[in-house]
Structure 1
Amino acid sequence: MSQVLITGTTGLVGGHLLRLLMQERKVNYIAAPTRRPLTDISGVFNPYDPQLTDALAQVKDPIDIAFCCLGTTRRAAGSKEAFIHADYTLVVDTALTAKKLGAKHFLVVSSMGANARSPFFYNQVKGKMEDALIAQNWERLTIVRPSMLLGDRDKQRFNESIFAPLFQLFPGNWKSIQARDVARAMLHEAFSPTQEGVNIIPSAKLREIAKGEA
């Protein structure tokens, strides 16, 4: 049985993943810190605080596996600084908290094209986030890099509403992917006896794993 920490549960991938974890027989404890309280859940420890780092600090029980599904866009965040805080700082804070609580495996949602040396701000921040997690020397670190996400959001992102239909026509890693499939793939990887170290999973592979789990 595993004790799990997850952040980003109010988002698209995180919401699907939380529901999967609640149904998973291998999980006997879930801590899901959030900025605002979750609704329609039971059996989940949900400390919440507008400052997510303060909510994370309320998690005291040992953790085996941690998931981070935090992610926004520069437009939604409102500024470069707010985007960095959400997609870099809070992700690193989640990892540090999980490691302090004993987690051996950290799984994180990044993005296709993540590269710390990218000329594109979004990809650059995602790449720096990945580099920071790799530098933490996790026993197991799983980085998933989905393409454009599909799914029902409370607030539809502008770029996704415009480009999602087009991305469904693309091949390989460029093809858009359902958020629930990313969640399924992450759950599978969390409990699969894959190799130790850093495992980076591109979007096409995520779809393949999810298909096997459907």
Structure 2
Amino acid sequence: MAYKVIIVGASGLIGSSLLSALIRSEQIAEITLLLRNSLSISNSKVKEIVINFDELDNYASKINGDIIYCCLGTTKSKSPDPNNYRKVDLEYPLNLAKIGLQNGMSQFHVVSSLGASSQSKNAYLKLKGELENELKKLNIPSLHIYQPSFLEGKRQENRPLEKIMMPVMKLLNPILLGSLENYRSIKASDVAKAMMNQSIKELTGTFTYPSKQIKELA
């Protein structure tokens, strides 16, 4: 089967890797990118739609595909306003899933975070947990939640803390054994590969993948 897919967050670390993998896949017929700003990608498979995410309903007729991959995410430095932060990490993905369902979407793949829990005292993990809970209530035929740990990869934006953490994680990874393996850093490209690999299996149900399992699926 050749799939018609939608990516949200294609300019990010995981989303850009996912886009490259999907372009190469013979099982993907058409890729629609929902973007704030054009990436100027020239490929016969790829169609860009520049949208205002605050008015997502106005683009509902264009959010039409077999599979939606949601790689949206922000940081406190990019979205210091808590309301905007909540929009990007919870409201946009949730609205996207609802519109996709209305238009016949069969699969929804979303990037969350290791440790996500609506009961967490950490605001970031709490928000991710709330999103997971709300998505599960929608009864999506095939829902896939990816919970990676610290991501490895070259970002376009400058993130000083991550530059410091990368070499630290490389030192820590070998000693994180047993149940602690989930906390080893993971390549963004591995998360992208796992997302693509799971989407072409036509699985039914709700699946949550912690970081260690994501690596195994890549």
Aligned to 1:178, which of 169, 172, 187?
Answer: 187
TM-score (norm 1): 0.91
Whether 1:35 and 2:36 are equivalent positions in the alignment is yes
Give me the whole-angstrom Cα distance separating, in 2, the residues matched to 1:120 and 1:23.
38
Name the residue aligned to 1:18.
Answer: 19
* Segment drifting more, 90-99 vs 127-136: 90-99
Unaligned runs of 5+ in 1: none
Q: Please state whether the residue corresponding to 2:34 is helix, strand or coil.
A: coil
Q: Please state whether the residue corresponding to 2:38 is helix, strand or coil.
A: coil
* Segment drifting more, 79-88 vs 37-46: 37-46
C-alpha root-mean-square deviation of aligned residues, in Å?
A: 1.8
Aligned to 1:139, which of 123, 135, 141?
Answer: 141
Instruction: Give 1:192 shift.
Output: 1.7
Give me the whole-angstrom Cα distance separating, in 1, the residues matched to 2:61 and 2:50.
10
Aligned residues: 209
Closer, same or farther: CA 53–29 of 1 in aligned 2, 3 Å:
farther
TM-score (norm 2): 0.89
Give me the whole-angstrom Cα distance separating, in 2, the residues matched to 1:124 and 1:182.
21
Q: Which amino acid aligns with 1:206?
A: I
* Segment drifting more, 136-145 vs 166-175: 166-175
Aligned to 1:151, which of 146, 150, 153?
Answer: 153
Q: Which amino acid aligns with 2:165?
A: F
Give me the whole-angstrom Cα distance separating, in 2, the residues matched to 1:153 and 1:131.
29
Q: Please state whether the residue corresponding to 1:200 is helix, strand or coil.
A: strand
Whether 1:73 and 2:75 are equivalent positions in the alignment is yes
Q: Please state whether the residue corresponding to 1:144 is helix, strand or coil.
A: strand
Instruction: Give 1:9 shift.
Output: 0.3
Q: Which amino acid aligns with 1:178?
A: K
Q: Please state whether the residue corresponding to 1:6 is helix, strand or coil.
A: strand
Q: Which amino acid aligns with 1:8?
A: G
Q: Please state whether the residue corresponding to 1:9 is helix, strand or coil.
A: coil
Q: Is the 8 A contact 2:152 2:188 kept in 1?
A: yes
* Segment drifting more, 175-184 vs 97-106: 97-106
Whether 1:98 and 2:107 are equivalent positions in the alignment is no
Give me the whole-angstrom Cα distance separating, in 2, the residues matched to 1:193 and 1:60.
23
Aligned to 1:84, which of 72, 83, 86?
Answer: 86
Closer, same or farther: CA 130–145 of 1 in aligned 2, 3 Å:
same
Q: Is the 8 A contact 1:33 1:55 kept in 2?
A: no
Name the residue aligned to 1:209.
Answer: 217
Q: Is the 8 A contact 1:177 1:203 kept in 2?
A: yes
Give me the whole-angstrom Cα distance separating, in 1, the residues matched to 2:206 and 2:131.
14
Q: How does 1:107-146 map to 2 (within 5 A)?
A: 107-146=109-148
Instruction: Give 1:55 shift.
Output: 8.8
Q: Deviations over 1:165-206 (max 9, x none)?
A: 222323211011111110001000101244x21100011111
Give me the whole-angstrom Cα distance separating, in 1, the residues matched to 2:55 and 2:194.
27
Closer, same or farther: CA 156–61 of 1 in aligned 2, 3 Å:
closer
Instruction: Give 1:158 shift.
Output: 3.3
* Segment drifting more, 109-118 vs 155-164: 155-164
Percent of matched pairs sharing the same residue: 31
Give me the whole-angstrom Cα distance separating, in 2, the residues matched to 1:101 and 1:64.
9
Whether 1:200 and 2:208 are equivalent positions in the alignment is yes
Give me the whole-angstrom Cα distance separating, in 1, the residues matched to 2:94 and 2:135.
7
Give me the whole-angstrom Cα distance separating, in 2, the residues matched to 1:175 and 1:56.
41
